[in-house]
């Protein structure tokens, strides 16, 4: 089976030696971008220190670009590691999700809401 991130279909919007970024095919907000390791590894925990650093450097540059283009009010940066967390493409990648004031009724808790009703405090 061919990994869709090993041979990306989407337009590369950013890159460095060890990682690249594309817009998410199923975005949850405008500008939703994926930062993907060039080497096939299942999760970010399988990346070398250099690969992980390259991915997060690209996350930073993607947010700079998205701030200039879309002027979001914030970001969620997310990583799903393994099927139990919701990972569906078994190739290390990081979601950069621009957030806009009012896009949800109450954003408090952010990523804590990945398990329904556990994010309330």
Q: Note the pLDDT of residue 120.
A: 66
The domain limits of the chain are 12-100
- The CA distances from residue 80 to 36, 65, 69, 86, in Å, are 12, 23, 26, 6
Separation CA 106–CA 87 (nearest Å): 25
Question: Average pLDDT for consecutive 10-residue bins of the chain (121 residues)?
Answer: 85 96 95 98 98 98 98 97 96 98 90 75 63
Q: Note the pLDDT of residue 1.
A: 64
Contact 20, 14 (CB under 8 A): yes
Residues with active-site annotation: 93
- Fold classified for 12-100: HIT family, subunit A (3.30.428)
Q: 0.85 exceeded by the pTM? A: yes
Query: What token pair was written down for 2?
Result: 């061919």
């Amino acid at each position: 089976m061919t990994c869709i991130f090993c041979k990306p279909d989407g337009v590369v919007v950013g890159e460095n030696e060890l990682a690249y970024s594309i817009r998410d095919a199923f975005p949850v907000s405008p500008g939703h971008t994926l930062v993907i390791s060039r080497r096939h590894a299942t999760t970010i925990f399988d990346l070398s220190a250099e690969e992980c650093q390259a991915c997060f450097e690209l996350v930073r540059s993607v947010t700079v670009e998205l701030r200039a283009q879309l002027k979001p009010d914030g970001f969620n940066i997310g990583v799903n590691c393994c099927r139990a967390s919701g990972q569906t493409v078994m190739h290390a990648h990081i979601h950069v999700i621009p957030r806009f004031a009012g896009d949800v009724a109450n954003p408090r808790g952010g990523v804590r809401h990945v398990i329904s009703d556990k994010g309330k405090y």
